[in-house]
């Protein structure tokens, strides 16, 4: 099902680039809640991190648990993650951010990083929530939210898993449903500035982990990449076993997995998202009966500021996300 979003931007922030950039300003969301770090040992010998909201530790183990997946080069420090954790706490929910490998301030062991189709880490984390020494603290219903690249991972996981997932419901925001289209969009006009900024961060992360003698890819090509397509062809694909960028995008674009999702899922995308084009929006025939695709005319990329003032904005996404997930978190079972 495809529905029109009720989101409308305020008069002082209608531009799609302003919507995209504004949440990154330090005054847009000043709160930095205390987090507790869990090291997550992965089956292949690698490691990543899960950051739990400390205030949630005081809640009963049967409280709902919200698992958050961040976007490209993001972390638990990203403003969208912080505001959602605090909004979930107001409902009496526990929450955590599962970091992708080598993201945030945590380094992984193996000579690899993360990509838009890596679902095994999420699957492992969810499947072991009830099997760890802390399992008594994870006895409540579980839902998940993914932003941008994290949304792609979440939707792909849901499509792969069908009804074999502990998740009751999920929401994905500003998802690059078609990685080919999104790579092309980021190579056009003003959007090239986002590409340049993110590529600079990605190359910095690569240099922190590898050098020209230890890299399992062409170092000179990697450092000269000027587009996401080039970086993914020369770095992401060889690091993670894909036969080039085309193979990576073909196999990992979440649009191919939407029709197999069997949990209630809300996808929120905006038509003016500078990280993609309207062509990424699938038709209703590509959606499972369990998927609702909410299409907004505006909102930018993970912006969706809907009011307030420039110094104290209000945000549409936390209430919309939790409003969708709340009925499923209250259910005794599926």
For residues 115 and 45, what is the distance between their CA atoms, to the nearest angstrom?
A: 18
Catalytic residue at 90?
no
For residues 317 and 300, what is the distance between their CA atoms, to the nearest angstrom?
A: 12
Nearest to 280, CA basis, from 265, 291, 268? 268
Nearest to 20, CA basis, from 73, 65, 79, 77? 79
| Residue in 70, 99, 115, 301 annotated catalytic | 301
For residues 325 and 66, what is the distance between their CA atoms, to the nearest angstrom?
A: 9
For tokens 């990992």, name the residue: 252
For residues 155 and 150, what is the distance between their CA atoms, to the nearest angstrom?
A: 9
Please, how many CA atoms are within 13 Å of residue 295, restricted to the half-sphere of its CB? 14
DSSP state letter for 57: G
| Residue in 148, 253, 270, 329 annotated catalytic | 148
Structure tokens at 248: 């990576």
Q: How far is CA 139 from CA 129, 131, 135, in A?
A: 8, 10, 7
For residues 51 and 82, what is the distance between their CA atoms, to the nearest angstrom?
A: 11
| Residue in 51, 102, 121, 273 annotated catalytic | 273
Catalytic residue at 180?
no
Catalytic residue at 260?
no
Integer-rounded Cα Rg, in Å, for the chain is 19
Quick one: which H or E segment has residue 292? strand 291-296
Instruction: Kindly give the pairing relationship between strand 94-98 and strand 65-69.
Output: parallel
**Catalytic residue ranges:** 148, 273, 301
């Amino acid at each position: 099902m495809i529905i029109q979003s009720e989101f409308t931007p305020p008069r002082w922030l209608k531009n799609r680039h302003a919507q995209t950039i504004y949440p990154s300003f330090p005054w847009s969301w000043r709160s930095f809640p205390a987090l507790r770090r869990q090291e997550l040992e992965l089956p292949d010998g690698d490691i990543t991190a899960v950051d739990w909201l400390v205030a949630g530790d005081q809640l009963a183990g049967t409280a709902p648990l919200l698992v958050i997946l961040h976007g490209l080069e993001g972390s638990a420090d990203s403003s969208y993650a912080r505001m959602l954790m605090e909004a979930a706490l107001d409902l009496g929910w526990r929450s955590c951010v599962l970091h992708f490998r080598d993201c945030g301030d945590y380094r992984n062991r193996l000579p690899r990083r993360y990509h838009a189709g890596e679902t095994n880490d999420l699957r492992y984390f969810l499947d072991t929530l009830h099997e760890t020494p802390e399992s008594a603290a994870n006895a409540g219903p579980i839902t998940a939210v993914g932003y941008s690249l994290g949304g792609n991972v979440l939707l792909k996981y849901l499509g792969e898993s069908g009804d074999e997932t502990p998740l009751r419901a999920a929401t994905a925001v500003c998802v690059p449903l078609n990685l080919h289209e999104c790579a092309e969009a980021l190579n056009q006009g003003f959007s090239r500035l986002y590409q340049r900024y993110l590529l600079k961060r990605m190359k910095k992360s690569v240099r922190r982990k590898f050098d020209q003698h230890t890299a399992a890819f062409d170092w000179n090509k990697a450092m000269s990449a000027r587009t996401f397509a080039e970086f993914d062809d020369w770095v992401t694909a060889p690091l993670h076993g894909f036969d080039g960028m085309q193979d990576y995008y073909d196999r990992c674009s979440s649009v191919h997995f939407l029709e197999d999702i069997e949990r209630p899922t809300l996808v929120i995308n905006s038509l003016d998202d500078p990280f993609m084009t309207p062509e990424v929006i699938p038709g209703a025939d590509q959606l499972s009966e369990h998927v609702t695709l909410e299409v907004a005319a505006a909102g930018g990329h993970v912006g969706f500021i809907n009011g307030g003032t420039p110094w104290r904005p209000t945000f549409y996404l936390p209430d919309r996300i939790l409003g969708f997930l709340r009925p499923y978190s209250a259910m005794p079972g599926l």
